[in-house]
Structure 1
Amino acid sequence: MSSKSEERREHTCISCGINISGTSAAKFDCPECGTLIYRCSKCRKQSNLYECPDCGFTGP
């Protein structure tokens, strides 16, 4: 279970680096290692590449 301080923590888009707190961003597990990935709606719409910081998996 996550704490309230964790829920309020700022998250950044893994593709462009903007703060995505309070936006319609996506949160999902890396397909390879399960690390939590955050992406803004703009990067998802444009299919910008991302790289998992833990395992190096690259996806659109």
Structure 2
Amino acid sequence: MSESQQHATRQCVSCGINISGTNAARFKCPDCGNLIFRCSTCRKQSNLYECDDCGFTGP
């Protein structure tokens, strides 16, 4: 997915909510470098996430 497409579809990778304009985290996947977005609720609850590109999972 291109960076422009990721900006258009900013969704939490854990719960799927639209995170545009919220206090969300943005970071690169430790394995492949794909950009990952997580909402503050999923971060606080340590919900699992999975990278869409490589399948890496993390807390």
Q: If the length of structure 2 is used for normalisation, what is the TM-score?
A: 0.86
List aligned pairs for 1:6-25, cutoff 5 A: 6=4, 9-25=8-24
CA deviation after TM superposition for structure 1 residue 58, in Å? 0.3
**SS of the counterpart of 1:14?**
coil
Counting aligned pairs with the same residue, the percent is: 72
- Who wins on radius of gyration, i.e. which is larger? 1
| Structure 2 unmatched ranges of 5 or more | none
Residue identity in the other structure for 2:44? K
- Tell me the equivalent position of 1:3: none
Q: How many residues align?
A: 54
- Moved beyond 4 Å, runs of 4+: none
Q: Distance in 2 between matches of 1:10 and 1:21?
A: 9
CA deviation after TM superposition for structure 1 residue 31, in Å? 0.3
> What is the CA RMSD across the aligned residues, in angstroms?
1.1
Residue identity in the other structure for 1:41? S
Per-residue deviation, residues 4-49 of structure 1 (Å, max 9, x unmatched) = xx4x624100000000000000000000000000000000000000
Q: Distance in 2 between matches of 1:44 and 1:52?
A: 15
| Structure 1 unmatched ranges of 5 or more | 1-5
